Amino acid sequence: MTYELVVELARQTVITAFLLAAPLLTVALAVGLTVAILQTVTQIQEQTVAFALKLFAVGFALFLLLPWTLGVAVRFGVQLVRSVPAMVY
């Protein structure tokens, strides 16, 4: 196993992790900002509301994105398994 192979696998792992996390983090950010603005305008400072809405929104986004997420994860796993012979020799 060469140094370049290890670096490439680490790079691909980090990119895949960011690719999988970015949509959910974007949803959480958008909902969090929207709720914060609405709470500021209405002067309601209840943390449970923000948490519950973010939890629901991220859960719903996860449900919608699950097929895509699993596809990306499976493709990455298959690519990783196929690269095992190159790691051994």
- What pLDDT digit, counting tens, does each position of 67-88 carry? 999 999 999 999 999 988 877 7
Q: What is the pLDDT of residue 27?
A: 97
Tens digits of residue pLDDT in 54-65: 999 999 999 999
b/e code 17-27 from CB counts within 10 Å (16+ = b): eeebeebbeeb
> CA torsion sign, 11 to 15 to 16 to 18?
positive
Q: CA–CA separation, 61 vs 63, rounded Å?
A: 5
Number of structural domains found in the chain: 1
Residue 72's domain comprises 3-88
